[in-house]
Amino acid sequence: MEGGGTSSETPRRHWPAFLRGDGPSEVYSRVLGDGDPLRLQERVAKRLREVWLLVEHERLVTRTAVLCAKGALAEPAPADLESWTIGKIDQALEQLVRRDEEAEQSDPLHVEETEKVFPLLTDAMLRDPARVRGYCVRFNALEPLARRAFFELMIEGREVLEVIEGGPWNRESLHAYVLQALATLDFPLPRARKGSSGP
């Protein structure tokens, strides 16, 4: 006996209208269009602070939008659009970090003008624009705790005691991690005084 039998079938999922179009360029323009429908600005900023990587914010937003546009036209619609979007951010992060590493290894003296744009480093921290890519490659190669210490203290501006209480370190190890991070950005580091027993 045949029945309707459709209630047990998985409902077919559909992409939202802004992720549908005739090609990647059309979808890309919608992703970066008015209203930021995937909330890439917010989610990229949040993700960078979760993984403690130095990648220029707008560069990551743009690369993520490219991956989202291509993915929406080639992949089935996901059950959770937010998780899918975060996955694209992580994919874009991996691509950009790897691209910078390869470029720095193959031709460290050649830096594209677009690679010099990183306001956090060049404007806020007064780092040399021509060396931005190298700074990022060295910083991103650090162990996670050194990157985390830098982000929490230097970027988020949290108090030292708050960071110590919220992390797996004491004052001395936190200080050591921050110095490691600052060294990758060519900040002058304090010299230990001879015969000093420390604070």
User: What's the rounded Cα separation, in Å, for the pair 157 and 165?
Assistant: 15
Express each pLDDT in 36-92 by its tens digit: 999 999 999 999 999 999 999 999 999 999 999 999 999 999 999 999 999 999 999
Q: Specify the DSSP element, H or E, that contains 89.
A: helix 81-106
Total residues belonging to the chain: 199
Express each pLDDT in 82-139 by its tens digit: 999 999 999 999 999 999 999 999 999 999 998 999 999 999 999 999 999 999 999 9
Q: Measured between alpha carbons, how far is residue 140 from residues 53, 79, 81, 99, 189 in Å? A: 6, 32, 28, 12, 19
Could you tell me which residues come within 8 angstroms of residue 98 by beta carbon, excluding any fewer than 6 positions away?
none
State the pLDDT at residue 196. 43
Confidence of residue 11 (pLDDT cuts 50, 70, 90): low
